[in-house]
Structure formats: C-alpha cells, structure tokens
Amino acid sequence: MVRLIALLAVCLLAAGCTNLPEEPPPTSWTPQQQLTPQAGPKPELPGEFTPAPGQRQPGQTQQSVPPPQGCKDFDAMVIATCLSPVSGVAMIGADSQGTVTAYATERTTGRLLKVARNVDPVVIATIPVDASSDGGLSGLALSATFAEDQLVYVYVTTPTDNRVLRLAPGDQPKPILTGIPRGPSGNRGVLASDRKGALLVATGDAGNPALAADPNSLAGKVLRIDGQGNPAQGNPTAGSRVLTSGLRLPGGLCVSADTTKVWVTDWTPAADVLYRIEAGKALGNPAWTWPDKPGIAGCSAQSNMMSAAMSKSPGVVQLPMGPDGSFTGKPEIIMADTGYGMLGPMEMLNDEASLVGTVNKTGGKTVSSDDRVAIIVRTSNPSAQKD
C-alpha cells in the first residue's frame, strides 16, 4: 500500500492527473478499451517531491515486496511486465486513480507498446528492424506537443541504413531522416526532446570512427532536427543538423528541465563516458568516465543530480551536480538490490522520479516478470565525497 501511495504521488506531481484531456477518438492506433487513460502532456516538470503521510522517503530502503508470480509483479512501481529487453520509455499520461500510462519499445522485436499497470501491453506498431548487430529499435521520444498531435518518433536500423521514423495515429510510420550510416557495429541511436520544440538524435559511428569526425556524415553525431527531419531553427550552423560530433555507441540523451544542460552517454573502447554537449563544438573530454564499463545507458539530468542507468550491472549511478553542471562528488550506486536488475532507457519525470526499462534478458539475472517498465525514485542525499 505504501508503494501504491508513492506511485500516486509521483503521478500527481509529474502529470497533473486530475485535469488531463481525453485522448483523440478511436483510430487504427487505438488500444483495447480497458487501456484508455486520460492523455496528458509529457511530464517534464522539475517537481518538488513531497511525500504523502506514511510514504517512503527518497533514499529510504524500500519495503519488502513479494517476488513476482509469472507476469504478475507485486511492486506497485512496476507498470509493465514480460516484455523483451526495453530500449525506450516515454510517459504519456496518468489518471486520478494513479494509473500511469507509457510507451515502451523493444529493440529486437521492433514493437512500440502502450503499457499500464495490471493491463496487458497493447501493440501500437511493429516496425521491421535489423537487430543483428547492436541496432534495432533503439530510440523513442514524443513530440513536444504530444498532447495535441500524439506524434511519436523512433530510431531504427534497417538492412541498409539507420533512420528516424515518425508515427501518427491512423497512419503508417513515416521516415523523416534516412541515410544515417549502418555498419557491422555502432548502429545504436537514441532520441530526446530538447524541451524547446526540436528533436535531438544521437547516432553511432557505424563501426568507423572516421565517420564520427566527418562533418558531412550523419554518423557519430548529435543532431537537432524539426518534425520533418530538417535542420531545426537555431542550430549553430544554418542548414546543418549537427550539434556536435565524436560519438561511438550512444546509450542515452538527457536535457535538464531548464534546457541549459544537455548530456549524452557513450561507450568507447576504453570506458563508458558521459559528455556534456556544447552546441557547435566537438565533444572533447568526457565530463565523467567509467573504466569498468558498467554499460552506462539512459540518463536523467535533475536539478542537482545526474542519474544514469547501468545495463551491465544492477542499479543506477548518481552524480551530485552543481547549478553550473559541474560534479560536486563521486558517483554513488543506488537501487542495486531492488530486484529491477540491469536498466537501459531512462526518462526524467520530475526532480525526484524517472521512468526506466529493464534489459535483464540480454544477460542479466532474470525474474519471471522481466523485462519491465518501472518508476524509480532517486536518493535525496547522495555522497558528497569530493574528488
């Protein structure tokens, strides 16, 4: 019951549950009747977490939860179960009863699913993908005006290239950016809203580092595009989609709520790394490195904390962060013993909570309800130990 109250509190904080508009009339995209929650804007508000009476405080050890039975997961923070490894997550709404609804993608199946707790996932679309390397369906983001237009963007690998597709209700997926180089590796890409109306696209180097350094190639870059795939207004070079270059195999993109800080995670031969993006400049030195390569993936840029999922080791890594984006302490690993295991995508809901997807079926220790989509609450008092 305590965790259910926590779920409702996060819902009310992130999405303003009681005044959400209804979804558009039924179309070929419409899920089953029982999964028709009120739609709302993408919850990107930097909230102030106020626990309900008796609610678990951020950082407090969670209460014991019975192990799952088949696809039934008794953890109230889990909103979807029995998926293939999850490659993308995006919150789309919540109702006054605390029922959270989200989109999730699976890398290898190409499925875009609509999920909610205690309801079978609904397949919105199945997109043909080539998942034979590290690509597939690896990126997911909603339009900045999702509450009005219901547009969804995905990053996929095909037999010939990597590309960005736009999905609209009642229509077939439409390619808006094609020709991103495909190779034997380096095909993973991730998406994020820049919180200003444009779409950010982080692309792999297609197994060729020279392409990441080539200004005429779309590989190994962070791109900024509009809803048609064209260079977004305000880019550092007019007519160019490129914000920065030098990526190898990106795993996460995150933007702070005030839009002043943009981050991307990457896997290099020497370490997993986190870069802060400066538009118009090459990536340069990482803001942080992990030589032990725990599989740093999705990230959340909260007001005083950088949180990142780990896809090769259980838990979330937290870095205390100052207002200017500098790190004020060493990383602290949290949630390693929650039972969620290894995590891939992450999306910030507010200043205390994030939506995550698990990737335990890629080689982690699985439970019967894996893989899952869940809400996690950050630790409020991370280690302040200085470097």
Residue labelled with tokens 């030589």? 291
Is 385 within a domain? no
Bridge partners of residue 158, in order along the sequence: none
Question: What's the number of domains the chain is made of?
Answer: 1
What confidence category does residue 147 fall into, taking pLDDT thresholds of 50, 70 and 90?
Answer: very high
Is 95 within a domain? yes
Is 363 within a domain? yes
CATH number at residue 224: 2.120.10.30
Cβ atoms < 10 Å from Cβ of 175: 14
Would you state the pLDDT for residue 64?
80
Is 382 within a domain? no
For residue range 104-132, list pLDDT tens digits in order: 999 999 999 999 999 999 999 999 999 99
Is 387 within a domain? no
Is 329 within a domain? yes
Is 172 within a domain? yes
Report the distance separating Cα 201 and Cα 38, nearest Å: 29
Would you say the pTM of this structure is higher than 0.95?
no
Is 175 within a domain? yes
Instruction: Say which amino acid occupies 203.
Output: T
Q: Are 320 and 385 in contact (CB under 8 A)?
A: no
Residue labelled with tokens 């205690």? 118
Q: What is the mean pLDDT of the chain?
A: 85
Domain hosting 206: range is 2-377
Report the distance separating Cα 55 and Cα 222, nearest Å: 40
Across 78-92, average pLDDT: 97
Tell me, rounded to whole angstroms, the distance of Cα 343 from its chain centroid: 10
For residue range 349-375, list pLDDT tens digits in order: 999 999 999 999 998 899 999 999 999
Across 29-44, average pLDDT: 36
